[in-house]
Structure 1
């Protein structure tokens, strides 16, 4: 007898499954995207100690690691054929997005771009990570099965991260600020393709391209 899927893997059916061609495009795009943070990490790590010491180095590491994690989880999920393994990978993929959002804000609360001082930055960063871990846990425990609600919570956490980053943003020069805003715009526009990817062929792949663009812009902001 076939064992039923665990509760955390049972989700509401999608309007349309991604075709194999779409999934290969999805997987390839984010597999390539793993190179973005790996290439930027050495330069970011070299500059971090001059700004905020050990906290700056840690913030850069968290930023880059969570970016690699979210792209790697996505690539693995999309590369797998439909079945139990893909469902497990999907849960991890969706949970990793929450960690990536918090990781993207970490340099602005702890690292070189932080406008916070002392324990204020640490407390703000800790709160963001608490929310991110809660969101990831809810995903893995099947408490967020409505796709649009889940997307809304991603955006909510993203805006919380943006507000937490405001003190650091105020200290950015014009080029870094422009890269930061461009990245936010890429994520926001791309969300439309994510929400409607079940009815738009290769819509999810387009969403991936916007995510890659947003991530690249934020790496450029950190390097500016």
Structure 2
């Protein structure tokens, strides 16, 4: 990975605004998901959607704040939080699927593994932010495709439409890691 290019003030403002919009949408999504889970699901749906929503809000809040600050000591700390929140969101994205559709042994296994990797990734960011960048990228990709080890239980647990969305999301996610590595 190349050395990080310094963002211009205009780029940082655009990042802060777009991520702030994402934050607003994430808050709305959390409300909708929690209401929907409360009306049509059980406690596992409620917990899964709430965790997903909170991790989505955490990512956009961290990113909005990070891009709103000028360079300096706080900016470095906020960058660590911003990058650590990526690991939270990846684990948070798995949570509704593992707690609802898969819920049994496979669901709990994937849930435990993905949250353990998220914790490892967060510690990696805290202690080695500007070192081991490729390891972060490998962890992002490994977390994203971890579900493949339980592909049969996943197929048995979700419908075709959900599976198509999961695969498409995984492909776009992997494409995004290329841009992450490129920058």
Same fold flag (TM > 0.5): yes
Ranked by relative contact order (alpha carbons within 8 Å, sequence separation 6 or more), the top structure is 1
Q: What is aligned with 1:35?
A: 24
Question: Map of 1:80-119 to 2, 5 A cutoff?
Answer: 80-111=69-100, 114-117=101-104
Is 1:74 the counterpart of 2:60? The answer is: no
Question: Which ranges of structure 1 fall in alignment gaps of 5 or more residues?
Answer: 1-11, 198-224
* Aligned pairs for 1:16-35 within 5 A: 16-35=5-24
Structure with the higher fraction of residues in helix conformation: 2
**Structure 2 unaligned blocks of 5 or more:** none
TM-score normalised over the length of structure 1: 0.70
Residues 116, 167 of structure 1: 8 Å contact kept: no
CA distance in 1, matches of 2:82, 2:91: 15
Seen in structure 2, the aligned counterparts of structure 1 residues 72 and 165 have a Cα distance that, compared at 3 Å, is: farther
1:126 and 2:112 are equivalent in the alignment = yes
State the Cα RMSD in Å: 2.6
From 170, 173, 178, the counterpart of 1:184? 170
| TM-superposition CA deviations, 1:22-50 (whole Å, max 9, x none) | 22222222111113332223332234354
> Does structure 1 retain, via aligned residues, the 8 Å contact 2:110–2:146?
no
**Distance across 2 between alignment mates of 1:61 and 1:192:** 30
TM-score scaled to structure 2, two decimals? 0.84
- In 2, the alpha carbon distance for the partners of 1:24 and 1:183 equals 28
| 1:133 shift after superposition | 1.0
Equivalent position of 1:212 in the other structure:
none
| 1:58 alignment partner in structure 2 | 47
In structure 2, the residue matched to 1:173 is 159
Measure how far apart 1:70 and its partner are.
0.8
Deviation by residue 1:75-116 (Cα, 9 ceiling, x = unmatched): 1112211111100000111111111111000011102xx223
Alignment length (residue pairs): 182
- Corresponding residue for 2:133? 147
* SS of the residue 1:18 aligns to: coil
